[in-house]
Amino acid sequence: MKTLFKNLAILAILVSPIISCDELEDLVDVEKSVVLSENFTVDLKGGDDSFESQDLDISILTSAIEPYADLLKKVEIEKVTFQILNYSGDDAAEFEVKFSGDGTLFMDESFVASTAASNNTIFEVSDSTGLNTLASKLLNNDKVTIAFSAESKNLENPASFTVQAKFYIEVTANPLN
């Protein structure tokens, strides 16, 4: 019986460093939050020429994240928002704005731009699947290409505005990796 207890004690001593190492690895995780802000300028002529699109690369390798670039463990996009700024044009014009990241659509929103601008409306992405896909692409590639488009079906006169998009991102790195 003494031998059984000795063996169990030795086993417990041998197993505890393994558990402790895993716990220690999680303890040294470094979490950084970053907000990437990008502006898309929209200048529509009206009539049949009321569509515009742009591509822009975004990268998580900001000055706060770059030291951990090779140690990234997890990237999570907490939310993406956009807001209409500096609207000039027809007050009744309705617009549809779409955002996609490397081909994955994550925002498709319709609104009256004059109302959204004057009310300081902040639109928030609710497609968690699209954001999770985007986060995986950022983890694997450090950057993604954001495709943006704006369209109006009832624009009679020229209109211009800025779409300010903000990406709220949480990055976890581990120096032991």
Domains and CATH numbers, the chain: 29-173 (2.60.120.260)
Q: Which of 135, 51, 36 is nearest to 95 (CA)?
A: 51
Cα 17 from Cα 31, distance rounded (Å): 25
Dump pLDDT digits (tens) for 48-65.
768 999 999 999 888 888
Model confidence band, residue 127 (pLDDT cutoffs 50, 70, 90) = confident
The H-or-E segment that residue 157 falls in is none
State whether the Cα torsion 86-87-88-91 is positive or negative: negative
Dump pLDDT digits (tens) for 80-124.
999 999 999 989 889 999 999 988 899 999 999 999 999 999 999
In the Cβ-directed half-sphere of 78, how many Cα atoms lie within 13 Å? 11
Q: Which of 119, 95, 93 is nearest to 107 (CA)?
A: 95
